[in-house]
Structure 1
Amino acid sequence: MNAQGERWTAEQVLALAPDAASRKAGGKLATPGPWSGAGAHDRGVWGLCAGSGSKAYQTVVDLDGPGYRCSCPSRKFPCKHALGLLLLWAGGGGVPEAEAPPEWAGQWLSGRRESAGRKASAAAAEAADGAAGGQKEPGGVADPEAARRRAERRAQRIAAGATELEQRLADLLRDGLAGADHAGYATWDETAARMVDAQAPGLEARVRELGAIPSSGPGWPARLLEECALLHLLNQGFLRLDRLPEALATTTRSRVGLTTTTAELLASGAAVRDRWLVLGLQDSADGRLTTRRIWLRGQDTGRMALLLSFGAAGHSPELALPVGIVLDADLTYYPAGRPLRAALGTDRPNLPPSAAPSTSVTPVPQVPPGSDIASALVAYGAALREDPWLDAWPAVLSGVTPIPGGEEGWQLADTRTGSALPIDPRCMGRTDLWQLTAVSGGGPVTVFGECGHRGFAPITTWDPNPVPLQSPSGTGSTPHGGMP
């Protein structure tokens, strides 16, 4: 339970699943039949689940985080047993309150919380080191001069990479875009590798996307030209950083890959305290890494925020904030012309190392307030002025009705104003639009998502509890422009 004695909903539990198969398998175990010795105490839930072998699987969940441990051989986190146990607990009937956990569960829970305390102390020490210069000499003393020299060398490598990339774009335009359809991906892959050598991951990601455009269907030359223009703008911006306004220069640095470390960020002391509503959660995978994006909105400040966490392929990232909860916490925004990405502070009472302990966590069944389509577009336009490479901006739309696709594709329509917004065609593989239509029932609903120049990408709707809209068929890749 959370600090207010309230259990999670089944939807919040299922949002933690690494894939659709785990959600289905966990649902089958959400009955008392296979479980024995189940109990809950002090934000820990445990139980023994009968399996195919002679020994039952020992399953325990730390609700601060959450964190999971199961003696089954599954390599998924959480496994189906942890999901089934949490669903049984969320239902309120199969997991009674206990005075204390059994020894096998208690040892893991106490060890995890001791580890959380050590990590919090280490993070505080790292932040202090970052504030002092970020690098140490062998004797343990921070050496800001060495850090400055390293930063200068990296900036020179990125500048060389940007110059080389400009020549590649000039060659492409001189030879004609039609040739890109025949050149194949190998040339772009080689250019992307050169950006890795230049220590410019932002440029690498954009180059790889350029290589995929010629095979993306009708109209690809126009899309390729648009992306080349944005990449040219980014290259020129970095090569002329000293001429840019500070806010735009900061955004340009982050777009090429010169990011601030979390320790340096938290040491800056520029935290924003608020009660943050979790609006949406979405996972994307590229075969090597699973990226989790969690969107928040401050109830007092009205500010949007994006949290990013990562896990190895096939593993769910550790940071898991179920959609619909409110956490009272400090967020610190990464530098940008229009800040969006943020990091959770270390002083967070009821959450763990990845999310951590002093914040009250409350489910919020009511539907959040939203805006109309025109206001969402205005907000995106304002953000785009600060960050020309921004694909979309988060928004909550109220009173919109999903219209299934015809010749013009899917749309969200506002019958009050007669306006409509197309649904971003890139979200078709990762968003369950028919589920959104079913929740709507032909009437207006409130939808959270990202509003951009390609349309609106729905992520969550409410009925009145939050309903995540990520497609059960898997996770799609996330546009680079949505991650400032």
Structure 2
Amino acid sequence: MNPQGERWTTDQVLALAPDEASRKAGGRLAAPGPWSETGADGGAVWGQCKGSGKKPYQAVVDIKGPAFKCSCPSRKFPCKHALGLLLLWAGEERTVAAGEPPQWADEWLAGRRERAERSAGAPSGGGAPSRAPADPEAARRRAERRMQRIGAGATELEQRLEDLLHSGLASADRADGRGSWDETAARMVDAQAPGLAARVRELGSVVASGPDWPARLLEECALLHLLDQGFLGIERLPAPLAATVRSRVGLTTEAADLLTGPDAATVRDRWLVLAQQDSEDGKLTTRRIFLRGERTGRMALHLSFGAANHPLDLALPPGLVLDADLAYYPGARPLRAALGERHAPAAPGPVPPGCGVDAALAAYGDALRDDPWLDSWPVVLADVTPVPGRDGAGWQLADADGESALPLDPRCLGRTGLWQLAAISGGAPITVFGECGHRGFLPLTAWDPTPVSL
């Protein structure tokens, strides 16, 4: 047995890089020259990297997280030294020898273990953080007040939509139109309905945004009206659909309640990491990790949030398999899930099984039937080939028989990921994971045969 545990591939390491510059800088450090006192055990890799100063930088990586620590001043996470160390470890087996961590690395690793044990919701660890007992009556009153505020906000928004339809959609294209939508969104924030606020902002972005914008504005207004009416009549909805409506307006469920509450229900499986994607809005970093159960075949989405330029606790590069418990958030078509207990360290996994274009469209249609506000659904496409569309109209993913094709989402056109996808394929069928939605298919990961983030 390898005392250092399962080694990652180079692509799995590079998938953790925060940007292209970090990938290149980490690659330049993926050689023994600048490193000293490197080592690894079953759950960590460490080493000292020579820098511009007299004292080398000390870098350590907790593979089980993964989590990173480096003494350099970089605000990127992971920094180039952590990436270089992992790339060195992922290379030839003898480059980073097995051993015991030095004191500086062991102290940090021990601190992580202690924090995990303190925050574990179960004796075996890995569960939801424990919380102080709450006053049930006070919590009930707060929940009632918030429901009333959201109800008032939904009623006000219905009046805004009705005024718009009476005056005509063309009136939305006034000089002060954008400011009016921003003001309405702010009112929804005041009503404690961030989900409604986000959809109102989307309405403002549709106005005068290109050909046929009135038709698209009408579609979005109809979906927003449906959500308003769903919330205002939520007591008459089936429980799964009511849960979907609550989440769409911005009411959330605590992860601790999902994992350890009285109605907790977890699903244990070997979860293959399909993609990890980060996005920033200037103040907040959102990380989306897509998973697929090896036994259940279920898709799952893990969301985590953090301040911009600050590390997020969970990082899982595509291609790893995680033996763990997941608890799905309630809804008519559950997808988002909270991560519970891990039963083994993450290890490299196989290429996921996939489906054809017709099955992918059917999966999105089934999900849309349960959740009308769904933009897309995650699917793995097998044996598809990226090809230019007819008359130069975008790109498509075509089935092996050429009878069915799925247009690529316009958001990926012009991105380097599109050309990566074409280069990986080389005109031959490949396996691709992404999101299938009304805009088309947005590719996130391709296998060649190891995963490559797009």
Aligned-partner Cα distance in 1 for 2:142–2:251? 12
> Could you say which residue in structure 2 is the equivalent of 1:432?
417
Identify the match of residue 178 of structure 2 among 176, 179, 185.
Answer: 185
**1:160 corresponds to 2:145:** no
Kept after mapping to 1: 8 A contact 2:397/2:408: yes
Structure 1: runs of 5+ lacking an equivalent: 131-139, 349-357, 470-484
> Could you say which residue in structure 1 is the equivalent of 2:446?
461
AA matched with 1:372: G
> Could you say which residue in structure 1 is the equivalent of 2:377?
393
**1:344 corresponds to 2:339:** yes
Query: How far did residue 185 of structure 1 move?
Result: 2.4
Identify the match of residue 373 of structure 1 among 357, 360, 379.
Answer: 357
Change (3 A) 1:430 1:193: farther
> Could you say which residue in structure 2 is the equivalent of 1:282?
277
Query: How far did residue 92 of structure 1 move?
Result: 2.9
Greater alpha carbon shift after TM alignment, 179-188 vs 224-233? 179-188
**1:450 corresponds to 2:442:** no
Query: How far did residue 97 of structure 1 move?
Result: 2.6
**1:146 corresponds to 2:138:** yes
**1:411 corresponds to 2:388:** no
Q: How does 1:201-280 map to 2 (within 5 A)?
A: 201-214=194-207, 216-267=209-260, 268-280=263-275
Change (3 A) 1:127 1:105: closer
Task: Please state whether the residue corresponding to 1:233 is helix, strand or coil.
Answer: helix
Aligned-partner Cα distance in 2 for 1:417–1:404? 13
Aligned-partner Cα distance in 1 for 2:355–2:78? 36
Greater alpha carbon shift after TM alignment, 208-217 vs 17-26? 208-217
AA matched with 1:428: L
Task: Please state whether the residue corresponding to 2:433 is helix, strand or coil.
Answer: strand
Deviations 1:403-451 (Å, cap 9, x if unpaired)? 1355421111124151111111133366611100001101211111111
> Could you say which residue in structure 2 is the equivalent of 1:58?
58
Query: How far did residue 141 of structure 1 move?
Result: 5.4
Task: Provide the TM-score with structure 1 as the length reference.
Answer: 0.88
Aligned-partner Cα distance in 1 for 2:46–2:127? 34
Change (3 A) 1:94 1:218: farther
Kept after mapping to 2: 8 A contact 1:3/1:360: no
Task: Please state whether the residue corresponding to 1:327 is helix, strand or coil.
Answer: strand
AA matched with 2:437: G
Deviations 1:375-418 (Å, cap 9, x if unpaired)? 11111111111101011111111111111355421111124151
Same amino acid, percent of matched pairs: 70
Query: How far did residue 14 of structure 1 move?
Result: 1.0
> Could you say which residue in structure 2 is the equivalent of 1:81?
81
Greater alpha carbon shift after TM alignment, 154-163 vs 20-29? 20-29
> Could you say which residue in structure 2 is the equivalent of 1:319?
314
> Could you say which residue in structure 2 is the equivalent of 1:35?
35
Aligned-partner Cα distance in 1 for 2:147–2:257? 19
Task: Please state whether the residue corresponding to 1:99 is helix, strand or coil.
Answer: coil
What's the Cα RMSD here?
2.3
> Could you say which residue in structure 1 is the equivalent of 2:114?
114
Change (3 A) 1:372 1:262: same
> Could you say which residue in structure 1 is the equivalent of 2:71?
71
Aligned-partner Cα distance in 2 for 1:240–1:306? 28
Change (3 A) 1:15 1:71: same
AA matched with 1:334: Y
The list of structure 1 runs, each at least 4 consecutive aligned residues, that deviate by more than 6 angstroms after superposition, is 1-4, 122-130
Aligned-partner Cα distance in 1 for 2:122–2:292? 29
Deviations 1:94-152 (Å, cap 9, x if unpaired)? 7433431111111111112111211215998996977xxxxxxxxx7542222111111
AA matched with 2:419: W
Query: How far did residue 179 of structure 1 move?
Result: 2.7
Greater alpha carbon shift after TM alignment, 381-390 vs 407-416? 407-416
Query: How far did residue 329 of structure 1 move?
Result: 0.9
AA matched with 1:432: G
Change (3 A) 1:127 1:16: closer
Aligned-partner Cα distance in 2 for 1:31–1:103? 24
Deviations 1:339-371 (Å, cap 9, x if unpaired)? 0000111x21xxxxxxxxx3242212x432111
> Could you say which residue in structure 1 is the equivalent of 2:286?
291
Aligned-partner Cα distance in 1 for 2:288–2:16? 12
Change (3 A) 1:2 1:429: farther
Kept after mapping to 1: 8 A contact 2:39/2:101: yes
AA matched with 1:186: G
Kept after mapping to 2: 8 A contact 1:290/1:316: no
Kept after mapping to 1: 8 A contact 2:64/2:346: no
Query: How far did residue 2 of structure 1 move?
Result: 8.9
Aligned-partner Cα distance in 1 for 2:347–2:130? 34
Query: How far did residue 295 of structure 1 move?
Result: 0.9
Kept after mapping to 2: 8 A contact 1:18/1:315: no
> Could you say which residue in structure 2 is the equivalent of 1:479?
none
Greater alpha carbon shift after TM alignment, 160-169 vs 33-42? 33-42
Greater alpha carbon shift after TM alignment, 86-95 vs 221-230? 86-95
Kept after mapping to 2: 8 A contact 1:18/1:316: no
Kept after mapping to 2: 8 A contact 1:3/1:362: no
Query: How far did residue 215 of structure 1 move?
Result: 5.0
Aligned-partner Cα distance in 1 for 2:218–2:140? 37
Kept after mapping to 2: 8 A contact 1:88/1:94: no
AA matched with 2:429: P
AA matched with 2:297: G
Aligned-partner Cα distance in 2 for 1:285–1:322? 18
Structure 2: runs of 5+ lacking an equivalent: none
Number of residue pairs matched? 449
Query: How far did residue 258 of structure 1 move?
Result: 1.1
Task: Please state whether the residue corresponding to 1:11 is helix, strand or coil.
Answer: helix
Query: How far did residue 220 of structure 1 move?
Result: 2.0
Task: Please state whether the residue corresponding to 1:51 is helix, strand or coil.
Answer: coil
Change (3 A) 1:2 1:177: farther
